[in-house]
Structure 1
Amino acid sequence: MFMTLAAILPVILVIASGYLMARTGLISDQQWRGVERLAYYLLFPAVLFRTIAGVDFSRVPTLTMGAALLSSIFAMIIALLLLRPVLERAFGIEGPRFTSIFQGTARWNAMIALAIANNVVGEEGLAILAIAMVFMIPVLNIASILVLSHYASGTKPSPRKIARDLYSNPFILSIGAGVIVNVLGVSLPGAVDDTLEILGRASLPIGIICVGAGLDLSSLRRPGPALTLGAFLRPVFMPLIAFGFVHLFGISGTAQTIVIIASAVPAASNSYLLARQMGGDAKLMAEIITLQTLAATFTIPLAVLLFG
């Protein structure tokens, strides 16, 4: 556990540095939005494309790992939907607040996962995690949009808008392009590969600095049932569910570690933006993301120790 914590601690410290930079006003709110867009639209797509384009799929349990991840996601989604009427009766958690609990439990922060995979496992971990993203990102985006459109008070998106959101997502586009290049067996020119490598090296520190900048500790002063459920359902139960499917599909070694990391990291930061755009409880979503990220110092090493 101490080795895992030693690998994760630098990620947490970089997140903390982002928080301090934002609170001291060294970078303005408007400038932070520009940095986030840089990471989201250029740096992370670069590392995903390069990693997917060069990975040897035959050396990775691609299909079984994808099956374990998708099974874990669908199991949690079904459990949450079955719990929804119970949560409303027992705690008065209505539709918009439920959508934030849903996103906080089902979605994952790829930026933190990539940084931790790189520290814990290295290049091999990055490649396997990039493959995991091929399976997880489209499914979770669709599920979140559908749940928000059904339970929140915002405008319900049309099928065309859902499709447009998916095919305009830079993560999905870069993953798809990398898969095409990989399948065709095309080698990237040296200058292109070197450029993507430089961009990729910048993606992880900048991405997790942005995660820290988005934290709002003042939002945690009034915890309640919705925040407690939203913050701890994911770190407690997702690794446990994933571990069950890992054994069911016979996954071991590095791939098992990556599945557990992907299941244990906090919810995606852009869950807040989606909640705000579609009528969900954006304030609760911000609280869930903040508390999960703070707890990750303990929950991720524990999950990797027990299940990874």
Structure 2
Amino acid sequence: MPDTVLDKLPALFATVLLGWAAARWGWLTDGRKGGAGGADPARVLSAAAQYLFIPALLFRAMARLDFAHMPWRTLAAYYGPLLAMVLAVYLVQRWRLHGAAGMALSSTQAAVPATRAVTAGFGNSVQVGVPVAAALYGEAGLAIHVPIVSLHALTLLTLLTVLAEADLARARLRHADGRGGSMAAAVRATVRATLIHPVVLPVLAGLGWNLLGLPLPAALDEWLRLLASAVAPLCLLLIGLSLGRQSLHGTLRGVFSIALLKLFLLPVLVLAAGKWVFGLEPLALSVAVMAAALPPGSNALIFAQRYRTLETETAAATLLCTLAFALTAPLWVLVLARIPG
């Protein structure tokens, strides 16, 4: 990979290592109280990311999005295979948890399918993806990559939040009445939980602001930008904190599956769709495939921590796939260079 890309990776790993050390040596805890007022520091930081910093990032991104100049064919070639794979992972995971007898998901299992799906699909399109696109393809490539980034949260996080909340609503109703509850009650619970979700609400609010044609005042834009700038380091610290508190025993099989899906299967699907279905020109095809080949993003861990499921597996997948990306990225660059234009 180009030096400008390799220069970014040590900073990412160093921040994760800092979080791991903080967990191992208790830098964020009060030995007399077992934490900040007895609270788990990882939970406190995760809540700050979920309710303060990520909403600012999402609202600002959606409010500033320029729909008039989006490369829709490239976006279709990227998001079509991505959504198909994510939904397939979700459905397979849900079927496996149901079992052959068709048993309902328990409340502790309900968010597992959506969490595995978001880890398999949500790429690190900013911290790793932006320098990759800029280094490999320059300003022209970055102009194609940025629209892909802009719709990432809107599509993946919103879709999988709805699926997770629907599964949770069904599980709660089944436990409440022992029969599964009414579909209407499940729908009401899902809609209510989705609309006030800290991912979906700022996306919808930002989208509404954008569609009304309202400009962001300079002071508001600067405040949102400042809050959004905390997302990357905070999420990387949380990966280290999660790894420092838990053993990786029992997670490596899931991590290996995520790596195969994210680093190999998804780029193959996007390559096939972009080349033979949408007929993308070489630059757009290369940018879309490299975006698909990115390792999981740290927002997947925030998703897992919100639903308190697969946290260690998600953190390990994010870290280890990022390490593996240093080897798989040059492979995809070589593959793309050999495809006739």
- Return the TM-score normalized by structure 1: 0.75
The alpha-carbon deviation at position 134 of structure 1 amounts to: 1.3
Q: CA deviation at 1:147?
A: 6.0
Does the CA-based 8 Å contact 1:65-1:259 persist in structure 2?
A: no
1:229, distance to aligned residue in structure 2 (A) = 3.3
Deviates more, 1:17-26 or 1:236-245: 236-245
Gap change, CA 1:61 and 1:238, over 3 Å in 2 = same
Structure 2 residue 58 is the aligned partner of structure 1 residue 48: yes
Paired position in structure 2 for 1:186 = 214
User: Which whole-Å CA distance do the structure 1 matches of 2:167 and 2:305 have between them?
Assistant: 15
The correspondence for 1:175, drawn from 189, 203, 210, is 203
Correspondence 1:269 to 2:297: no
Asked if 1:297 corresponds to 2:322, the answer is yes
Contact 1:111–1:204 (CA<8 Å) still a contact in 2? no
The answer for the alignment partner of 2:149 in structure 1 is 129
CA separation in 1, counterparts of 2:2 and 2:302?
31
Offset at residue 104 of structure 1 (A): 2.4
Residue number in structure 1 paired with 2:14:
13
Matches within 5 A, 1:229-268: 229=257, 232-247=260-275, 248-250=277-279, 253=283, 257=287, 260-261=290-291, 264-266=294-296, 268=300
Instruction: Read off the aligned partner of 2:323 and give its amino acid letter.
Output: F
1:140 pairs with 2:160: yes
| 1:54/1:10 CA distance change after superposition, 3 Å | same
Partners of 1:141 and 1:171 lie apart in 2 by: 8
The amino acid across from 1:269 in the alignment is L
Give a deviation string over 1:103-154, Cα, whole Å, max 9, x none.
32444686944333454457965564132221222222233455677899x8
Partner of 1:72: 82
Check conservation: 1:145, 1:162, Cα contact below 8 A.
yes
Aligned counterparts, 1:204-223, within 5 A = 204-216=232-244, 219-222=247-250
SS at match of 2:230: helix
**How many angstroms does 1:270 deviate by?**
4.0
Report the equivalent of 2:137: none
Which residue, out of 225, 229, 232, partners 1:197? 225
Matched residue of 1:215: which SS? helix
Cα gap change, 1:238 to 1:147, in 2 (>3 Å): farther
Query: For residues 12 and 284 of structure 2, what CA distance do their matches in structure 1 show?
Result: 20
Deviation, structure 1 residue 25: 0.8
Query: Contact 1:7 / 1:116 at 8 angstroms: preserved in 2?
Result: yes
Aligned-partner Cα distance in 2 for 1:180–1:135? 16
Compare the two structures and name the one with the higher helix fraction.
1
Q: How far apart are 1:230 and its partner, in Å?
A: 5.1
Equivalent-residue separation in structure 2 for 1:231 and 1:101 (angstroms) = 16
Aligned-pair identity in percent equals 21
In structure 2, distance between residues paired with 1:217 and 1:240? 35
1:44, 1:203 within 8 Å by CA — same for their partners in 2?
yes
Per-residue deviation, residues 169-215 of structure 1 (Å, max 9, x unmatched): 22222222222222222111121112112112222212222222122
| 8 Å contact kept, 1:49–1:175 | yes
Change (3 A) 1:250 1:208: farther
Following TM superposition, by how much is the alpha carbon of 1:158 offset from its aligned partner in structure 2, in angstroms?
1.7
Deviations 1:263-307 (A, max 9, x none): 64337114544664xxxxx4xx23421331232233334454416
User: Structure 2 CA distance, aligned partners of 1:84 and 1:140?
Assistant: 13
AA in 1 matched with 2:221? D
Cα distance, 1:26 vs structure 2: 0.9
**Are the structure 2 counterparts of residues 270 and 49 from structure 1 closer, same or farther at C-alpha, using a change threshold of 3 Å?**
closer
Which range moved further: 214-223 or 30-39? 214-223
For the residues of structure 1 that align with 2:324 and 2:272, how far apart are their CA atoms? 18
Cα distance change, pair 14–113 in 1 and its aligned pair in 2 (3 A): farther
C-alpha separation between the residues in 1 aligned to 2:123 and 2:257? 23
Partner secondary structure for residue 229 of structure 2: helix
Deviation at 1:18, TM superposition (A): 1.5
Counterpart of 2:115? Answer: 103
Query: Counterpart in 2 of 1:92?
Result: none
Which fold has the larger relative contact order, with Cα–Cα distance below 8 Å and residues 6 or more apart in sequence? 1
Question: Does the C-alpha gap of structure 1 residues 183 and 105 become closer, same or farther in structure 2, counting only changes over 3 Å?
Answer: closer
Cα displacement (A) at 1:167: 0.9
The Cα RMSD (Å) is 4.1
Q: Distance in 2 between matches of 1:184 and 1:15?
A: 40
Rg larger for: 2
